[in-house]
Each structure stands twice: as structure tokens, then as C-alpha cells.
């Protein structure tokens, strides 16, 4: 009987679950509400219920979760969107429920690993991964392995400071890339500009909805709105600087962008590439690193989590 692997992508709202083969082919997937307010025990029970008739061929389990965590010990320290998940020994809880080996990984790292083994990073050994959403998550593959650092929480790439004494980030630092170039920050900067008196067709959206989304900004960019162009140019330039900083730290073959914001398409990617070429050093060829979009979409997290379990 074939050995397959379960991948779990634990989110504050939904849990994505999938089963892959040893060569990273996705066989099955589902999504269930997290209901995190019910507590870790209930959540684990609901995961078990979702796969109860599919465990006969399962060899091991991987789970990707927001941090911070002691990943090597399988313990979630704290999850912002799941207040009851504090110092939770989630790996041991899953081991007891399934009687299978379990590996815990940061959710962005899991998605990074998924793209590395089965997506945009397949067949290379060095890669940097960014996921653009409410924040900016990251992952680094160095010589074929995820970079973890001394405390298991390396590659918090959204918290690289790109502007000294800049905007206050939710992490408490000032000037983080996340505070400028995430999807939520892009929308927030647009709203602040309109409230400060800048003219834009987005003002009507703000008045009607009480807020502006990143999607709104890119839609109005396509319509020729000057403020939308200014904001999206600034976002792309920050992301380009982030690419340059990670290029010099890790020298990847590819820099891969994922997350909801890449739905903007080429208008985002080409701007990042433009500013990258404008600012990067000139002592090496400009094409020494490829900047591209991820290819696995929402499946990256479950594929990556499961793939990390293959060698348990």
C-alpha cells in the first residue's frame, strides 16, 4: 500500500487539508472552518474528523501554522488570530490523535517549501519566497533546505526595515516593509492620502464602503487614476528593495511572490522588476536572479506541509 502524507494549513478562519504522494502529487484536498474560539482540542478533533476515512495509507503529517512557535519542539507559542492557541503542543496532540509522526512548520515556510518542491522553485536549490496579504510572510531555501535560525523563527522577511523611523508596524518596529507594501498597507496608505486631500476616483469608493481594498487600488490604477499609480509604484519599489536586500543576504536563483496581491498580475510584477533593475548593484548581471510569481496558489501550504513530512 502506497505511503501518502497529510498536509495541514492552519489559518485563523479556515483549515486547508490535503494528501500528497511521496513525489508531491496532490491527491485530495478539503477546507473546513477553524472555529478557533472552541480551543485547540476541538480543532484537532475536527481535523481528525475531516480525514477519518483517508488515513489507511498515511505515513506522516505536516502542519503549517502562524507563529511565533518553537517549531522544532512542535509547540505553538501564540497565534494572533487564535487567542486560545497559547503554548499549545500541537505536534504531540496530532501524534496522539493519528498515531503518526508529525512536523510543525511556520505557515509561510510551508508554502515556500511547497513552491520549492512542486511549483515555481522546482529544480533549483536557492530561493526566496514572499507572500503578500494582510502582512508579508517569507521563507528562504538555502542549498535545498529551509532556513530556520537559532530560534526557529528566521525569514520574517516582512519585518526587514526599509525606512528608518518610518511607519509603525504591528510588530512594534518602525519602517518594516510590511507596513508599506503588504496588501493591507497599500490600501491603508491610499485611504490616508485621500483623507489628507489628494484627488482620486477612489474617494467615491471610500465614501460608499467606508474603506478601500488593495484590489480597489489596482482596479483604479487600470482606469488611469494618478493616486493609484503613485501608491502602487511606491509599493512595487519597496518590494524591489526587499528583493535586493534578500539577494545580498542569500543570493537566490529565484525570488517568488505569492499571496492575494499577486492577482494584480503583470502590472505588479513588471513594476517590481523595473525598480529592482533601477536600484540593484551593477557589478553583477541584472539577470542573476529571476523574480516571478508562485504557481501553486492556495495549495502551496498544504503541499509544503505534507512534503516536509515525507522524510520523517
Range from 65-69, 238-242, 255-259, 297-301 carrying the lowest mean pLDDT: 65-69
Same domain, 226 and 277: yes
Q: How many CB atoms lie under 10 A from the CB of residue 144?
A: 11
Q: Which residues pair with 63 in a beta bridge?
A: 8, 104
Quote the cell numbers at residue 148.
Answer: 530556520
Question: For residue range 83-98, what is the model confidence (pLDDT) as tens digits?
Answer: 899 999 999 999 999 9
For 160-196, write each residue's pLDDT tens digit: 999 999 999 988 999 999 999 999 999 999 999 999 9
217 pLDDT band, cuts 50/70/90, is very high
Task: Report the chain's mean pLDDT, rounded to a whole number.
Answer: 94
pLDDT above 60 for 1: no
What average pLDDT score do residues 42-68 get? 92
- Based on the fold, state whether residues 21 and 130 are members of the same structural domain: no
- Mean pLDDT of the region 224-252: 97
Its pTM stands at: 0.93
Tell me: do 167 and 103 sit in the same domain.
Answer: no
Structural domain span for residue 158:
123-294
Q: Are residues 108 and 247 in the same domain?
A: no
Tell me what pLDDT residue 78 has.
Answer: 86
Q: Does residue 220 surpass a pLDDT of 90? A: yes
Number of domains in the chain: 2
Does 287 score more than 70 pLDDT? no
Same domain for 147 and 277, yes or no, is yes
Report the pLDDT averaged over residues 219-230.
97
Do 240 and 273 belong to one domain?
yes
Give the per-residue pLDDT at 286.
60
Question: Residue 42, by phi and psi: left (phi above 0), alpha (psi -120 to 50) or beta?
Answer: alpha
| Percent of the chain surpassing pLDDT 70 | 99
Instruction: Evaluate if residue 130 carries a pLDDT over 90.
Output: yes
Look at residue 82 in the predicted model and tell me its pLDDT.
85
Q: Same domain, yes or no, for 147 and 224? A: yes
Residue 108: the pLDDT is: 94
Q: How confident is the model at residue 151 (pLDDT cuts 50, 70, 90)?
A: confident
Distant-in-sequence, close-in-space partners of 5: CB < 8 Å, separation ≥ 6 = 19, 20, 21, 22, 58, 59, 60, 61, 62, 306, 307, 309, 310
Q: Are residues 102 and 137 in the same domain?
A: no
* 280 and 156 in a common domain: yes
Better pLDDT: 11 or 284: 11
Both 165 and 274 in one domain: the answer is yes
Predicted pLDDT at 285: 67
CATH number for the domain spanning 182: value is 3.30.420.40
Average pLDDT over residues 264-278: 97
pLDDT of residue 2: 72
127 and 48 assigned to the same domain: no
Residues 108 and 245 in one domain: no
Amino acid at each position: 500500500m502506497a505511503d501518502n502524507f497529510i498536509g495541514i494549513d492552519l489559518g485563523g478562519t479556515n483549515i486547508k487539508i490535503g494528501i500528497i504522494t511521496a513525489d508531491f502529487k496532490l491527491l485530495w484536498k478539503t477546507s473546513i472552518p477553524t472555529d478557533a474560539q472552541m480551543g485547540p482540542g476541538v480543532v484537532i478533533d475536527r481535523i481528525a474528523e475531516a480525514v477519518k476515512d483517508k488515513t489507511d495509507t498515511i505515513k506522516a503529517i505536516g502542519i503549517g501554522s502562524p507563529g511565533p512557535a518553537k517549531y522544532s519542539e512542535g509547540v505553538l507559542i501564540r497565534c494572533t488570530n487564535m487567542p486560545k492557541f497559547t503554548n499549545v503542543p500541537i505536534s504531540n496532540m496530532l501524534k496522539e490523535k493519528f498515531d503518526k509522526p508529525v512536523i510543525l512548520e511556520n505557515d509561510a515556510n510551508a508554502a515556500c517549501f511547497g513552491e520549492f518542491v512542486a511549483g515555481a522553485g522546482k529544480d533549483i536549490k536557492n530561493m526566496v519566497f514572499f507572500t503578500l496579504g494582510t502582512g508579508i510572510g517569507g521563507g528562504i531555501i538555502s542549498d535545498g533546505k529551509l532556513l530556520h535560525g537559532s530560534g526557529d523563527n528566521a525569514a520574517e522577511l516582512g519585518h526587514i526595515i526599509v525606512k528608518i523611523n518610518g511607519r509603525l508596524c504591528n510588530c512594534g518596529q518602525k519602517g518594516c516593509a510590511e507596513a508599506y507594501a503588504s496588501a493591507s498597507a497599500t490600501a491603508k496608505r491610499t485611504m490616508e492620502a485621500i483623507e489628507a486631500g489628494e484627488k482620486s476616483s477612489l474617494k467615491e469608493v471610500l465614501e460608499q464602503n467606508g474603506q478601500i481594498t488593495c484590489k480597489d487600488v489596482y482596479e483604479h490604477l487600470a482606469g488611469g487614476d494618478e493616486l493609484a499609480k503613485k501608491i502602487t509604484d511606491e509599493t512595487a519599489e519597496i518590494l524591489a528593495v526587499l528583493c535586493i536586500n534578500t539577494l545580498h543576504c542569500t543570493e537566490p536563483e529565484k525570488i517568488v511572490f505569492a499571496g492575494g496581491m499577486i492577482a494584480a498580475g503583470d502590472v505588479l510584477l513588471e513594476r517590481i522588476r523595473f525598480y529592482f533593475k533601477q536600484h540593484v548593484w551593477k557589478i553583477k548581471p541584472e539577470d542573476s536572479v529571476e523574480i516571478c510569481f508562485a504557481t501553486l496558489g492556495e495549495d502551496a501550504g498544504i503541499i509544503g506541509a505534507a512534503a516536509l513530512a515525507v522524510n520523517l
